[in-house]
Amino acid sequence: MVVGGAVVDDLARPTVLLAARRTEPPHLAGGWELPGGKVDPGEEPLQALHRELHEELGVKIEVGEELVAPNGLGWDLPPSHRMRVWLVRVTEGESAPIEAHDELRHLPLGRWGEVNWLPADMPIVAALTALAEERQAP
Ligand SMILES: Nc1nc2c([nH]c(=O)n2[C@H]2C[C@H](O)[C@@H](COP(=O)(O)OP(=O)(O)OP(=O)(O)O)O2)c(=O)[nH]1
């Protein structure tokens, strides 16, 4: 199981999403993703989310709602992983590409499709966009 953070400016009404560019392994390097990683044995998913975002971005976070996958279990990451995704907001520190990434972008709503997301992230970002658009003030 993999956990990922959709780092946004506002948990209730997101208007900015963080995209992170991977540096490894070679076949994924250069692709943009949600920061996160594998849940360690014996670790709770949310513990892993806090740990991974601290390791990768150097921040502390507040966790909001889960972006539940259509299958109710997690977003498929072929060939063999699943990722659970939560909306998160930074509460301490400023995101920096400390580990696993070489560039971060804070994308305003309307431009979330403008980076080259990893293939598995495309439906996730589409669902995040739908959620964010629905939440904006009329
Ligand atoms: N973190 C993350 N991984 C993703 C995303 N999309 C996607 O296909 N993946 C894949 C890439 C990896 O094969 C796997 C996650 O592994 P990872 O390399 O981030 O995990 P990790 O930080 O724990 O690192 P390691 O144990 O492999 O060294 O999921 C995403 O948005 N975020």
Is 38 near ligand 1, meaning CB less than 6 Å away?
A: yes
**Cβ(53)–Cβ(45) under 8 Å?**
no
Q: Is 1 in the pocket of ligand 1 (CB under 6 A)?
A: no
Which of 22, 49, 77, 87 maximizes ligand 1 atoms within 8 Å of its Cβ, making it the mutation to test the pocket? 77
When divided into structural domains, the chain yields a total of: 1
What range does the domain containing 98 cover? 2-135
Ligand 1 atom with the shortest distance to the CA of 120: 8
CA torsion sign for 33, 80, 100, 69 is: positive
Q: What is the CATH number of the domain that holds 58?
A: 3.90.79.10
Residues 36/3, Cβ–Cβ less than 8 Å: yes
Q: Report pTM.
A: 0.96
| Residues 75-107: tens digit of each pLDDT | 999 999 999 999 999 999 999 999 999 999 999
> How many angstroms is it from 136 CA to the middle of ligand 1?
30
pLDDT in tens, 28-58: 999 999 999 999 999 999 999 999 999 999 9
Give the max Cα distance, the chain.
45
Give the ipTM.
0.95
Mutate to test the pocket of ligand 1, among 83, 85, 112 (most ligand atoms within 8 A of CB): 83
